[in-house]
Amino acid sequence: MENFELFPVALPVSARPIYIIGAGGIVKDAHLPAYQLADFTVVGIFDLNREKAQKLAQEFNIPQVYASLPDLIAQAPANAVFDIALPASQIIPTLAFLPAGAACLIQKPMGEDLVQAQEILNICREKQLIAGINFQLRYAPAVAVARQIIAQGRLGELTDIEININVYTPWHLWDFLFTLPRTEILYHSIHYVDLVRSFLGNPTGIYAKTTKHPQMAQLASVRSNIIMDYGDYVRANILTNHCHQFGLTHQQSYIKLEGTQGAIKIKLGVLQDYPKGTEDAFEYVLLNQNEEPQWQTLKVEGSWFPHAFMGAMAQVMRAAEGSIAQPDNSVEDCIYTMACVEAAYESNTAGATPVQSKF
């Protein structure tokens, strides 16, 4: 595995000043640490809870805490990038404040449903915003290395993607989720739907079932089974269970990619014992004629949190400076992730094919 660079991140030629809208846990745990790693400069921050914004400003040396969103927008320079780190319900009204042609990174999901996603897309088109959605798992270091191995043809033809998450998730850390009609797929499995799309493109259809749990009954759903249909030769399955409260022994969180000539398995350690997390792991195997398959491990620098968040912001900055035509995670692309999510909920509502009960 000597022929590829570890943790490749395409950074902008010249980083732009970042203005953050929102001061929640994801900003503290991922956005700001990632921007420090990338040497991006955060100039200002605003949150309705001024105390939270001031606390983050002090911790991460952000020069300015704004009293209002209009103040932040008015004082931001023309080359600013707005990091909109808000719940989905607040995205549309926030976009209305942005000046035409502005660059922005919008926290996932792209609205609460496909109707809102379409409205977000329309606003971005009308205002000619350079807008990306923060589906950052695409840019996780281990995923980037997997892409290199696949691009070199070492796995052969990609035939199978399996994502299996069996963990205990402390949902109380995101209290806004407890009032929403959609939870698990829209706010968690959406990452995996987007990741599969980034490897295989858009599926022809979705089969899905998302379920509650008696000990987490306040939440709309906490477990999901999703099949993305890519025809007769490619399998793409997502299986999530956030209710495994029985210790770490049998918790698991992995992405497995199989091809005709090899396979990769990536352990996402951040999801186990969250938010503390466990170690990541990257394993791969390549078939060699007349030899028994031998799995090997590869040390990959960086993790999903916070390192992947560098890539999501870098894409917006690179598009803003003209290095690329549009972000890889543009609203024009990510609308299709939202379409897949909508299809999953429609499949869940439609229900299973009834089984004949009498013979």
Q: pLDDT at position 188, please?
A: 97
Encode the chain (359 residues) as per-residue pLDDT tens digits. 444 455 568 899 999 999 999 999 999 999 999 999 999 999 999 999 999 999 999 999 999 999 999 999 999 999 999 999 999 999 999 999 999 999 999 999 999 999 999 999 999 999 999 999 999 999 999 999 999 999 999 999 999 999 999 999 999 888 889 999 999 999 999 999 999 999 999 999 999 999 999 999 999 999 999 999 999 999 999 999 999 999 999 999 999 999 999 999 999 999 999 988 999 999 999 999 889 999 999 999 999 999 999 999 999 999 999 999 999 999 999 999 999 999 999 999 999 999 999 99
Query: In angstroms, rounded to a whole number, what is the distance separating the alpha carbons of residues 174 and 275?
Result: 12
3-class SS at 254? strand
For the record, the structure tokens of 93 come out as 């009204």
- Which domains, and CATH codes, for the chain? 18-137+308-330 (3.40.50.720), 138-297 (3.30.360.10)
Terminal Cα-to-Cα distance of the chain (whole angstroms): 58
Q: pLDDT at position 297, please?
A: 95
Q: pLDDT at position 275, please?
A: 86
For the record, the structure tokens of 254 come out as 């992995």
Helix (H) or strand (E) holding 145: helix 141-151
Answer yes or no: are the C-beta atoms of 116 and 182 closer than 8 Å. Answer: no
Residue 230 sits at the vertex; the CA angle it makes with 284 and 111, to the nearest 5 degrees, is 95
